Amino acid sequence: MAKTPAQRIKKHGSKAVVPQHNLPPVINPTTARSPQKARSNSNLILIAGVVVSLFLFWYLHLLTLNQLTQLSDGLAMPDSLVGGFDPGYVGQLRDAMDGDARGQLNYVHKTAGTLFPLIFGFTWLLLIGTNVARKALRWALWALPLLFVVARLWGNVAIDALFGSETPDAGQVALASGLTIAGWVLLVLSLLAGAVAAFLASRKPQAAETAR
């Protein structure tokens, strides 16, 4: 049986021959991500997010909600009314839509109506976060897509409540209408915030060249 290093040292003292044990080298040290590669991966995520956001906007507002007007005697869905709506319009819409039509609107809110603001919000947070260096400006721009997500999701719930209750009061209508208007305004402001972030990103290479 082979002796252990401790046994060899005990028997032979300083003349003991102890085998050297070397730690294995680091496996594939070249796998560390460079800043350029990390930015490239971030850009791929951004492109995918923008494409999905555009598709969901088209699917939600230009296709699905537009098709639901066939079940409401041509009346537009509350989500599509950029200027909001009043109790009279809600009453007309409630009279025109039966239980199946209201169920379809509720289903749209739970699917595309939820996915669109969430994916758009995540994409815009990433767009702003990767291109805006100044912390104060970054948080100011981040606030717009975050508020957009809150307004749209809360607006979905408020609109469904209008059709779920027997007689919605003026306060419920005002809340749903205000959230709808806020959602559209915040969407436009979020797009402008994304344009600012893209503009700042385009100036970074110019600044780097000037520094050289």
**Token output for 126:** 């990433």
In total, how many domains does the chain have? 1
182-205 confidence digits (pLDDT tens): 999 999 999 999 999 999 988 765
- What value does the mean pLDDT take over residues 2-31? 56
In a domain, 5, yes or no: no
pLDDT band at 82 (very low <50, low <70, confident <90, very high): very high
Q: Please say if the pLDDT value at position 26 is more than 80.
A: no
Q: Give the distance, in angstroms, between the CA of residue 164 and the centroid of all CA atoms in the same chain.
A: 28
Asked whether the predicted pLDDT for residue 16 surpasses 70, the reply is: no
Which amino acid does the sequence have at 40? S
In a domain, 6, yes or no: no
Q: Examine residue 116 and state whether it is found in any structural domain, yes or no.
A: yes
> Is 199 part of any domain?
yes
> Which residue range forms the structural domain that includes residue 181?
45-211
Q: How far apart are alpha carbons 152 and 128 in whole angstroms?
A: 20
CA distances from 138 to 83, 144, 206, 207 (A): 29, 11, 20, 19
86-130 residue pLDDT tens: 999 999 999 999 999 999 999 999 999 999 999 999 999 999 999
Q: 12 in a domain, yes or no?
A: no
Question: Residue 32 falls within a domain, yes or no?
Answer: no
Sign of CA dihedral 195, 124, 197, 38: negative
CA count, 13 A, side-chain hemisphere, 21? 3
- Closest by Cα among 39, 36, 77 to 60: 77
What average pLDDT score do residues 132-161 get? 96
Nearest to 105, CA basis, from 180, 156, 150: 156
Residue 9 lies in a domain: no
Phi, psi torsion values for 23, nearest 5 degrees: -70, 145
Helix/strand number for the chain, H first, E second? 8, 0
Averaged pLDDT for residues 36-64: 90
Residue 28 lies in a domain: no
